Structure 1
Amino acid sequence: MATTIGDNAVVIDYDDDFIRAGYAVPEREPGVLQPALVRPAGSGAGGETSRPIRDRRVEDWDQLEALLADVFYRQCAWVKGDEGACLITEPMFTSKADRERLTQMMFESFNVSGLYVAEQPVAALYAVGKVTGVSVDVGYSVTDVAPVVEGSLVSPAAQRCEAGHSLVTAELIARCGEEHRRLREHERDAVRDATAAVTPSRDDASGDDVPLRDETYTLPDGRKVSVPGAARRECVERGLFRPSDRAGLVDAAAAAIAACPAEQRRAVVDAVGVCGAWAGRTEGLDARILADLEQQLPPSMKPFLASTPEYMPTGTARWAPWIGGAILSKVVFTHNQHVTKVEYQETGPSVAAKLKG
């Protein structure tokens, strides 16, 4: 029975801008839902869009429930009264209250047969075949950096910094003309994806002797958007690496490694896993993070990227926590490490304490 549950489990992974969902088949990319493009019920064609998740924390539980209902009953074709099991990857720093509320929603609103909650950094490293390393998860508005040792998060060393691809977009728009400010969000994102440039190192980024050419991007409706060469580089530098008023993501990574016990530091730098929906498809970003990190670490601790195994899909870095969750589901449900419906009925939402990890 447990094996059947594991084979039919739905895996959910979320950030501010994406909900990734699908049956636990690691070789396939998950279905992707963009909460910001879904209008709340009753808002009408001109209604405002909203994000139920901000800075990787749920702010609108009702809207999240509506989105997950679409995932379960339309995308995954669940039938009411015959729901399956679910594994959810959880962001760092999720509160006990939020975990209990999520558990309550899963059992009471969606009648899941079993539930497991996995930590996103641990799942991300699972996706590349690692149980020890450093996960650098570049999200929409924040980046989470977490050392993991033997499949367990080193919680005291975990770091979250204000660096994400929405900030790259904001920096790009700030350095361009008025035409950019009138673009809609998905148009701004398309311009960023086509023009933002990652330089190989901090020295290259600050050097004026390596100019980038201006780029022109044509929107689907034929409008042309011009992006100066300097803006292409500076948007990434200020959005991720060298913000003017806060630490960058490499600073956070170095701090996370330094906060590990001395005997663990060398082990975790052997596998630096860079992931994220935007980061995973941005050429040169992982190499730049590694180069800057090497400059900040002692010479005796040379970091290495956790490369994607050949047998894994090419887009693994984009959906690493989801793929790792799909792999993990084959273990946790088979070995009865999940919370069952009976356990929830006996204990209530506080049974979520069993799910931590």
Structure 2
Amino acid sequence: MLEKEELEKDMWHRSILECVDKGKKRGLCLYGAGYWGEVAFKVFQKLGITPTCYCDDNPEKWNQKKNDLPIYSLEQGVERYPEAVYIVCIDETKKKGSWDREKQKHMVERLKSLGVYDRNTELRILYYVFLLDISSLDQVGEAREIEDNIKEEDIQNIILFNNMSNSGSYYLEQLLDGHRNILCLPYSETLENVYVNRMQYLEGDELLIEMMAQMLGYLHSEFEELYCVGQHRFQGYCVNQEGHFIKDIYIDPTIFIQQLKLQLGDNRKLKSYAHMLKVYFAAYNNCLGKKKEKNTEYWIFYHMHLPNYDPSTMYAHLNADEFKRVENLIIIREPVQHCYSWIRRFVMKEKNNA
């Protein structure tokens, strides 16, 4: 693995496997003995490491045990394991599994004040819950070659799609998704920073896991109903005529890993940002059952959600021979209708739910 100084300065962690490697050498303490502490314990055990202990700010939990691990105050934990890796595990708040960012910030500051904060501390365990829904990576076999599978090399063109809010972008995306030449990844946002700061350095199982982690919200999971894991990406947008969430966009995590292996080949390393996009879109659409058609050049419909995005930023990451055509599309709405839609969606909805 590359050392910290070899990576981009703003990279907040490399991978969960790096965290596991460091935890095996230095110890691994889970800060938060609540709902997400329980989930974190299971995830790390799945990756072959048993955490050292729990730490928690609630005095009622001190000197108790959870999963046969002792629960200490943070000060006690740091005194016993000053070199350990500390992972922030947010406790449940308003509803089961919700993610309290203010509490997370407070916990991070406490770790910094005690001198045990490092770049793995803010690893968000919720991104890795898919590991609990699959067998080990070694047991997930390779996908067999299927003649009508779309391959990343079949994708020749890309549309960079941006929009103003409440402009009908999701409706347009759902319409275009039915076109046989267009591949969509609903609410795909921009993956640019993920590639630049992390993905380009990874390979093998480390790359597979982190690419899977970026699919939070697309994977069938026992956690998919939690707002912070699943529907936060799609709720209220990808809906049917009755206004209900379309669960057809969920895919099986085991099949998706197989598709990633198939797209990446034996050399499980990304060649470029464009290569990563092609792998994601081809693998996802294969999981949905989209069939390859002969003599078809596929388009990526890349829904970035960045109305102020400078396309030249994207061009800097695309090699000249990676796409035959790169087109830009932005959708706006008549101002009065736009304003009314915003008021109806946010103001009136909040008032009715109050």
Could you say which TM-score interval applies, normalised by the shorter chain?
under 0.3
Greater percentage in strand:
1
Higher gyration radius (CA)? 2
TM-score (norm 1): 0.27
